[in-house]
Amino acid sequence: MKPTLLPWALLLLATVPGPDLWPAAGAQLSCSQRCGDQSGPCSCHPTCFGLASCCVDIRDFCLEISPYSGSMMGGKDFVVRHLNWPNPADSVICSFKESIQTHGYVDASGRVHCVSPLLYESGRIPFTLSMNNGRSFPRSGTWLSVHPSKVSDSEKSQLVNETRWQYYGTPGTQGNLTLTWNTSALPSDTVTIELWGYEETGKPYSQQWAAAWSYLYSLATNIHNSGSFTFTPKPAPQNFQRWEVGSLRIVDSRHSAGKPDVQAIWSNEHALAWHLGEDFRMDPVAWARNQCLAWEELEDQLPTFLEELPDCPCTLAQARADSGRFHTDYGCDLEQGSVCTYHPGAVHCVRSVQASPRYYSGQQCCYTADGTQLLTADSTGGSTPDRGHDWGSPPYRVPPRVPGLSHWIYDVISFYHCCLWAPECFRYMNRRPSSDCRSYRPPRLASAFGDPHFVTFDGTNFTFNGRGEYVLLEAALTDLRVQARTQTRVTPEGSQDRGTGLTAVAVQEANSDVVEVRLGDGAGVLQVLLNQEVLSFAEQRWMDLKGMFLSVAAGNRVSVMLTSEAGLEISLQGPFLSVAVLLPEKFLTHTQGLLGTFNNDPADDFTLRSGEVLPPSASSRELFRFGADWAVQNASSLLTYDSKFLVENFKERPKHDPTFLPLFPEESSASPSQASAAADLCGDDSFCKFDVAATGSLSVGNASRVAHMQHRLRVQSLQPVVSCGWLAPPANGHKQGERYLVGSTVRFRCNNGYSLAGADASTCQADGTWSWPTPTCQPGRSYAVLLGIIFGGLGLVALVGLGYWLLRRRKSNTAVWGSQP
């Protein structure tokens, strides 16, 4: 994603006056306490820059900051851009969410700084700024609070050999530990290194349940800011040993011990094995076993959360394609080398994007290299659901919804107790069993791309190349709306052809934020707008927003994951956008718009607003009427109009341009040479052939071919798969095979001293049942022993028979010899 700065913005920057030039008193010509307001003689809304309608002091009151993001642990120093305040007379106060205040300052160059506070939530945090010691807060901006694991390593101190820190005190793990950090991140001659502990107290799932970080003690004070600290851990005093999860904080030594919300460098949160007491060091296995048993007892008292979690996708292909409901688990990512520390045997894991509705829990699904789901019933590397969703759950702040940290308390530290520090992992796996996929239902996919072409949720293909703004999807079930803008393509020669394509897509669900993705200035550039303001992804590629999550991947692909579990992926394909929409099964019979009526019946996909249904055999001209009928209405538009061009051509004109006559598919033709080249490129893809004919460009046709191919591959990945569910091995025996999908066979064997009663193999059938149940292994001699006895007995009988025969023969010969003279 390349940041863009439009020419009009550069011009505006050159003409906006400084803070000493104020508007006339009494007129609404100032942005003081008006950020986001479009009313009045001048605007304080982000769109004003392109419309040349901003109040002259907008940059003094509607703040831009750098950096704009940091860990929710706080302590990040950021600069307020464009605001210069030489010789301040009063203190600077920065107020976050109207309740959390930190002290800012003005540096020697007159630049204003704030320090981010310790928060218990991720996402966009509003803040206001006072330059008069808190008497008024007329300036406002937004800080992006980030999950600790998504923060760059350069912003954190590093636990050298982190595994050693978290196993310290167990057999073979003693000696010194080392902490390192980037000294430029904390400009101070001397520093203090503090230990902070995290806990969640009160009755679970009650109003008294609370999350808290607490300063515990300092490891070192007033040491040189060298970027490294080595020490030999000593057991903590008894009153600190209840904290088992925590983080190290490095601060300027001039601050008093534990002073909150000052500039700081934090380490990763981690298991505090190194600070635990002598009882842990004397017998870590016994200590951890006791903790595991206590956790097991607590779990049995808490409500079960497993029933409300979504089932895992059956295959890795499904898991990666179902991007509205599942997203890559950063701890086990195929695209990052599959370093799956906690899931040996897996190559990729995903997590459910949304926390469960009642207990705010999370699902995890892990897969092997052949795409098979890895279950805890078969392997300690299997996927485990989480009582506390690792990414938290809005509105965050309280257990078990605190991003990352609630997950540590209820799912991670207990894994250390039961699986890593003591051999009691079966207890953990019994209470965190993997979900199989018997009730998983893949989402349905619809796409729009190219000139533009559409594939509906029920699989209908058609082309509608109107010019204007149109409803791709409306679903009253969740008040989901997806709209798109189409424009004509400008050829390299500067002329406009008779084809159009998607240039902007916007989405909103209920009262969520509005996200828009559009073509930016310059080739190969996407812009993402949040509530009509252009976002930067220079620091973070994941954002927690109101009613949705937003992810930007390499290769100009934007993913929007909505609370309803619907998902959008918008990408750049050739000169236009391509959009894929994923809807879970609950949207069945609840959609309308250009992407069709999702009801498993393609015959009514061309339904107009009035309810009239065009037949599937409708001509391109009839379908043009269908598309025009779904033009956006001005009052409900989600799209942004932040330039003179957009205002004049879309906002102030009909949403469907009645003067534009496109090239219809049945009217398109190509020269013989062009037709030959298109046939070689496109094969049997009619969308590709049409775009070559309509635009004369093989590259445009190829972009449609690729987008169409990606759609079909994704549909194939999302095909339902029959699962028969996990099949247990026999007691006193074992099984071969850990794949439980249709056609898979599991084989059984008994341990020595046991014999198999039942079938030695079972196959998953198309109706979701196994051909045979798990057999039993009965006590007694094994088949090998029985066969030995049988054949040994037969051999003994044969030997006896042979001896008898030889004896009779000898007696017969003796009688003959005795009768001769």
pLDDT digits (tens, 9 = 90+) for 722-766: 999 999 999 999 999 999 999 999 999 999 999 999 999 999 999
* pLDDT surpassing 60 at residue 782: no
> Which tens digits make up the pLDDT trace of 214-223?
999 999 999 9
Confidence grade of residue 697 (pLDDT, cut at 50, 70, 90):
confident
Is residue 48 situated within a structural domain?
Answer: no
Mean pLDDT over the full length of the chain: 90
- Token pair 């940059």 in the structure block, residue: 59
- Which pTM does this prediction carry? 0.89
**Residues 630, 505 within the same domain:** yes
Is residue 158 situated within a structural domain?
Answer: yes
Confidence grade of residue 498 (pLDDT, cut at 50, 70, 90):
confident
Residue 666 DSSP one-character state: G
**Residues 750, 635 within the same domain:** no
* pLDDT surpassing 50 at residue 3: no
**Residues 72, 174 within the same domain:** no
> Which tens digits make up the pLDDT trace of 397-436?
999 999 999 999 999 999 999 999 999 999 999 999 999 8
How far apart CA 45 and CA 515 sit, in angstroms, is: 16
Over range 378-396, report the average pLDDT: 95
Q: Can you list the alpha helix ranges (DSSP code H) found in 16-68?
A: 48-51, 58-61
**Residues 450, 397 within the same domain:** no
Over range 615-624, report the average pLDDT: 94
How far apart CA 121 and CA 402 sit, in angstroms, is: 6
What is the chain's length? 821
Full domain range(s) for residue 761: 733-779
DSSP letters along 558-590, please? EEEEETTS-EEEEEEETTEEEEEEEE-GGGTT-
* pLDDT surpassing 90 at residue 108: yes
Residue 770 DSSP one-character state: B
**Residues 87, 100 within the same domain:** yes
Is residue 464 situated within a structural domain?
Answer: yes
What pLDDT shows up at residue 791?
57
> Which tens digits make up the pLDDT trace of 166-184?
999 999 999 999 999 999 9
Of the residues 396, 431, 466, the one at which a domain ends: 431
**Residues 621, 485 within the same domain:** yes
Residue 366 DSSP one-character state: E
* pLDDT surpassing 80 at residue 786: no
What pLDDT shows up at residue 788?
55
Of the residues 117, 146, 175, the one at which a domain ends: 146
CATH number at residue 540: 3.40.1000.10
**Residues 265, 302 within the same domain:** no
> Which tens digits make up the pLDDT trace of 9-29?
333 333 333 333 334 334 478
Is residue 288 situated within a structural domain?
Answer: yes
How far apart CA 424 and CA 734 sit, in angstroms, is: 21
**Residues 450, 595 within the same domain:** yes
Beta pairing, strands 139-146 & 69-71: parallel
* Residue 47 amino acid letter: T
Is residue 451 situated within a structural domain?
Answer: yes
> Which tens digits make up the pLDDT trace of 329-384?
988 999 888 889 889 999 999 999 999 999 999 999 999 999 999 999 999 899 99
DSSP letters along 335-353, please? GGT---TTSTT-SEEEEES
Of the residues 123, 146, 169, the one at which a domain ends: 146
- Token pair 């003690």 in the structure block, residue: 217
CATH number at residue 135: 2.60.40.10
CATH number at residue 769: 2.10.70.10
How far apart CA 464 and CA 457 sit, in angstroms, is: 16
Beta pairing, strands 270-271 & 245-252: antiparallel
| Best CA proximity match to 742, nearest among 716, 767, 719, 761 | 767
What pLDDT shows up at residue 20?
34
Over range 49-53, report the average pLDDT: 95
> Which tens digits make up the pLDDT trace of 550-563?
999 876 899 999 99
* Strand order through the sheet with 177-180: 158-159, 177-180, 228-231
Please count the CA atoms within 13 angstroms of the CA of 514 that sit on its side-chain side.
16
**Residues 176, 88 within the same domain:** no
Is residue 821 situated within a structural domain?
Answer: no
> Which tens digits make up the pLDDT trace of 673-682?
788 888 999 9
Is residue 436 situated within a structural domain?
Answer: no
Considering its fold, how many domains does the chain have in total?
A: 5
* pLDDT surpassing 90 at residue 158: yes
Is residue 712 situated within a structural domain?
Answer: no
What pLDDT shows up at residue 15?
33
**Residues 416, 502 within the same domain:** no
**Residues 252, 363 within the same domain:** no
Do residues 470 and 594 touch, judged by C-beta distance below 8 A? yes
**Residues 469, 578 within the same domain:** yes
Confidence grade of residue 667 (pLDDT, cut at 50, 70, 90):
confident
